[in-house]
Amino acid sequence: MDTVTITTGEERRPLGPLDWLRWGLVSFPMLVSIPGASGWLWPLIGVTLVCSVPMLRPPARPAWVLPAGMVVVIMSSGTLWVLQPNSLTSVAMFSTTFYLMRAYGKVLTTAATVLSVIAIVAMAWIHRLDWLSAVSILSLPVVMLLLAANRRGRSARLEQTELALARAQTAAEEHARAAALAERARIAREVHDVLAHSLAGLALNLQGARLMLVRDGASPDAVAQVERAQKLASDGLAEARKAVAALREDAVPVERAVADLLAGYRLDTGARADLVVEGEPRELDAAVGTTLVRAVQEALANTRKHAQKADVDVTLVFSPEQVELTIADRQGRRPPDAPAAGYGLRGMGERVALLEGELVSGPGEDGWRIHLTVPAWTCAW
């Protein structure tokens, strides 16, 4: 079975030069400090090296590992710098401080600044630095703080610009879609008012002609020809009505509708939202497509309510006889059992039951999981 993957969340990127440089600014000073370190300084060097590993490859979860590791690196490398003033450990402390200021918010920025200032004051006090040297070193955290604030501001402006462009593109697409729908509605009215009415009148006239031929004792061949013409008119009328219905509906593929819902969830929460489509997507019956889309919509609403900012994985499997949909949120823990099914899940179950499908929902190992199976009815026209 072919697999098509649509990823709407962030993917793990390969290590780049900046990652190695950021980690090297911590690890290299520690390695250089080893020969001159006394026995009781070895634990500080070891702790610094261990806590610097997340800076090379930030873990996806839990999120607190990287900032906590950087705080420890600042503390341990600052202590080493105070105890070994001729070493390069200050490079590790200041580079980690700047990275923490640039990547995180006010609380961690304040913590990094306070820790750096404490180390500088201790250095100046213990080693009797003159006031000019002390002020020069104290200016480093201030400069880094300004640079980090400027970097965060620039990143925020870029994000706002991208968001504005995305909204403008969405508005343009919605405008084009509305124009297309208006044109389709106009064509549907024309087909209904002209073609469908004409075919309906033709079918009625042919029926009257057939009755008159039967009454007057016409030949069977003539009656058969009129009956055939009446059937063609009736079939044409049915096809015209189907065409009108198709023009008035804006059928969106199920996989696209689900991807749009996940994109909205990601923009609202900032969490990861992935869609995996297996098999060959195809146009489904309106009832089947509506059930699948409403199931994803209800599941995302429940996730927003009960597990804010939880990652979501959705799998849509197309097989010849059925369509399977699995929605799982990643809360990082096993949620408690629901005392009773809410109206949303109950309505979802009723929709699936009307289609003679199956619905299973409940807590999993790391979040809530919904799995439903419905027959793969395709559109008749």
Higher pLDDT, 98 or 313: 313
Percent of the chain with pLDDT over 70: 85
pLDDT score, position 312: 92
Distance separating alpha carbons of residues 80 and 262, to the nearest angstrom = 48
Beta strands in the chain (DSSP E): 3-7, 273-278, 311-318, 322-330, 358-363, 368-375
Domain regions of the chain by residue span? 13-129, 177-248, 254-375
Distance separating alpha carbons of residues 298 and 258, to the nearest angstrom = 12
Distance separating alpha carbons of residues 176 and 185, to the nearest angstrom = 14
| CATH number 3.40.50.10700 given to 254-375 | no
Residue pair 255/316 in contact (Cβ under 8 Å)? The answer is yes
Highest-pLDDT range among 191-200, 250-259, 327-336, 350-359: 350-359
Please determine, for residue 250, whether its predicted confidence score (pLDDT) is greater than 60: no
Higher pLDDT, 100 or 245: 100
Higher pLDDT, 373 or 350: 373
Please determine, for residue 242, whether its predicted confidence score (pLDDT) is greater than 70: no
Tens digit of each residue's pLDDT (9 = 90 or more) over 47-71: 888 888 888 776 656 778 888 888 8
Tens digit of each residue's pLDDT (9 = 90 or more) over 173-204: 778 877 777 777 777 677 766 676 677 777 77
pLDDT band at 11 (very low <50, low <70, confident <90, very high): very low
> Average model confidence (pLDDT) for the chain?
79
Torsions phi, psi for 180 (to 5 deg): -65, -40
pLDDT score, position 316: 93
